Structures are given as C-alpha cells and as structure tokens.
C-alpha cells in the first residue's frame, strides 16, 4: 500500500513538472542543457551555467567533507563509543544536522565570507567574498553531520566477534579498523556520503546567500555563480509565461539529476556490500 502511494507521488511530481515545462521544452528542447545564456528580457534560456554551478558546488563540498565525515564516524563509532565525550559529540552532530540552512547562510555571510575575501586579496583574485568556494565550504559544513551520523551507526554494528578474532591473532587497533571495520561498514559509509550529496545538490537557502547569484558560466572556484535551486528560488516568485516554464524545466532537470545520483548510489552500495562481505569472510 505504501509502495503504491510512493509510486503515485513520484509520478504525480514528474507529470506536474513536465506538464508545466512543456512551453520551454518546445522552445529550447535539448539545447536547453548546452546554452549558456539566461536572459528573461530576450526570452533566451540556457541551463548550462546552473547545471555546472550545481555540480561543481555539490561535488567540491563532498570532497571537502569526506575526510571529516569518515574521521568523525570512526572516532565516535570505534574509538569513543561511550562516555561523556562521545555523548557530547553525538549530541553536537545531531544539533548541527538540525540547524536550518538559513542559519548556516547567515553564519557564512558574517564569518566565512570575510575570510574568503581576505584570501582572495592575498592571492590576487577579485575580493568578492561570495562564489563557488564560499558556498561549497558552507555546504561541506552542512552535510558533514548527515554522513558522519550514518557512518557512526554502521560502524557500531560491526560484529564484535570479528574484531576479537583479529585481536586474538595479534592485530593492532589500526589494523582492525583498516581490515575489519572499514571493509564491513564501507557500504554504510558510502550511503551516508551519497545522502549528503543529495542534500548538497538540492540545498537552496544557504547557497543562495553565498554563491553570488550570477547567471554566467563560472570560470573558477572563486567565481560567483548560481545553482538550479538558487535561481528557481530567486526568480520564480516574479516569473510568468515562458520564464516560469523555463524555471519549471530547470526544476525537472534538478529532479532527474537527483534521481540519477540516487540510482547510481544504490548500485554502488550494492556492489560494495558484496565486495565487503567477501573481504571480511
């Protein structure tokens, strides 16, 4: 029953987005993905700058967050599973995961943006403060709690018998973590990372506040840009006609990008689960 409801909901969202984006699909077609110009005055709409901005900020944030996520997962799931330090850090991670994105955006504006502007001044880049790097850093901070929480939960589920058997054979703590814990929990750790990527792709408010809201194709990580979610949030309230249809078409593209990431992630997790079970056994 619940599965059927989910299918109906999925198809309802897909059909609604497609039906409302038909005027833009007829006008732009597949060239919508390759065009670089977004000009509402002339009726020219291209999604490439926003597609590039979404993917660059999301994957850069993911690369920044992965070392911290894995370190926190191992620290809380293997080294400090109990005690006041562990309880305090677990609570902190959960609180960080629940903070609204607008709070992260304001924190980035008042603290992170001046730091980035100072760095840009030192390396000879136009000191704008906002741009892809700034939004990627704030995204990284936002997604670390998600991947770290899932990774910690999976690591705590590693059977104690496997670790005790390794210790009885003379393995060190590091060797147990490397050869037993990480292979066994790898699929769960990857699942947390992919969940974090899904949030990064769809994040709107914090990115809108820090990315610079430029409708041009970014030329560097310091360039102002726009993501698909941020341009929809900025322009949809005042959009009409073909502009509104183009924004909905952009939302349809974002829908498919998220779906593809989830499908690829599910496949990778399944493959890693099989490989991990073989390695441990």
pLDDT at residue 279 greater than cutoff 80: no
Q: How far is CA 202 from the centre of its chain?
A: 7
- Smallest CA-to-CA distance from 196 within 142, 270, 154 is with 142
Please state, as a whole number, how many other Cβ atoms lie within 10 Å of the Cβ of residue 33: 12
Contact assessment for residue 218 and residue 230, using Cβ atoms and an 8 Å cutoff: no
Look up tokens 């610079």; give the residue. 212
Name the burial class of residue 48, with classes exposed (0-12), middle (13-18) and buried (19+) by CB atoms within 10 angstroms of its CB: middle
**C-alpha span between 12 and 30 (Å, rounded):** 23
Angle CA(119)–CA(123)–CA(125) in degrees, nearest 5? 85
Total length of the chain: 281
User: Domain segments of the chain: what residues?
Assistant: 2-280
Look up tokens 């249809």; give the residue. 245
Enumerate residues 6+ apart whose C-beta is below 8 A from 154: 73, 77, 185, 187, 188, 189, 191, 192
pLDDT tens digit string along 220-267? 888 888 888 888 888 887 778 888 888 888 888 888 888 887 777 777
Q: How confident is residue 218, by pLDDT bands cut at 50, 70 and 90?
A: confident
- Smallest CA-to-CA distance from 246 within 31, 11, 10 is with 31
- Eight-state DSSP code of residue 211: S
Of the CATH numbers 1.10.3720.10, 1.10.150.120, 2.60.40.10, 3.40.1360.10, which one belongs to the domain with range 2-280?
Answer: 1.10.3720.10
Angle CA(10)–CA(195)–CA(150) in degrees, nearest 5? 130
Q: How far is CA 109 from the centre of its chain?
A: 20
Better-scored residue on pLDDT, 239 or 215: 215
Look up tokens 């499908």; give the residue. 263
Name the burial class of residue 46, with classes exposed (0-12), middle (13-18) and buried (19+) by CB atoms within 10 angstroms of its CB: buried
- Eight-state DSSP code of residue 225: B
pTM value?
A: 0.84
- Secondary element (H or E) of residue 128: none
Q: How confident is residue 63, by pLDDT bands cut at 50, 70 and 90?
A: very high
């Amino acid at each position: 029953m619940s599965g059927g409801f989910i299918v109906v909901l999925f198809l309802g969202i897909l059909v609604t987005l497609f039906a409302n984006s038909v005027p833009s699909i007829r006008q732009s077609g597949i060239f919508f993905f390759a065009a670089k110009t977004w000009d509402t005055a002339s009726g020219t709409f291209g999604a490439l700058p926003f597609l590039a901005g979404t993917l660059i900020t999301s994957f850069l944030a993911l690369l920044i967050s992965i070392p911290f996520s894995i370190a926190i997962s191992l620290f809380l799931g293997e080294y400090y599973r109990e005690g006041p330090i562990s309880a305090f850090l677990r609570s902190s991670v959960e609180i960080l995961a629940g903070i609204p994105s607008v709070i992260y955006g304001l924190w980035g504006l008042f603290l992170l943006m001046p730091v980035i502007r100072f760095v840009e001044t030192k390396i000879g880049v136009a000191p704008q403060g906002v741009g892809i790097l700034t939004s990627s850093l704030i995204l990284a901070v936002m997604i670390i709690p998600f991947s770290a929480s899932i990774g910690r939960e999976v690591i705590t589920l590693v059977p104690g018998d496997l670790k005790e058997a390794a210790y009885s054979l003379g393995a060190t703590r590091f060797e147990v973590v490397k050869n037993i814990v990480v292979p066994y929990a790898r699929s769960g750790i990857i699942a947390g990372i992919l969940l974090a990527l899904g949030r990064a792709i769809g994040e709107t408010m914090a990115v809108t506040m820090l990315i610079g809201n430029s409708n041009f194709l970014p030329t560097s990580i310091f360039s102002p840009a726009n993501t698909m979610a941020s341009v929809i949030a900025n322009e949809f309230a005042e959009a009409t006609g073909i502009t509104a249809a183009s924004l909905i078409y952009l939302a349809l593209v974002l829908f498919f990008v998220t779906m593809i990431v989830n499908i690829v992630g599910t496949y990778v997790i399944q493959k890693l689960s099989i490989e991990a079970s073989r390695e441990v056994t």
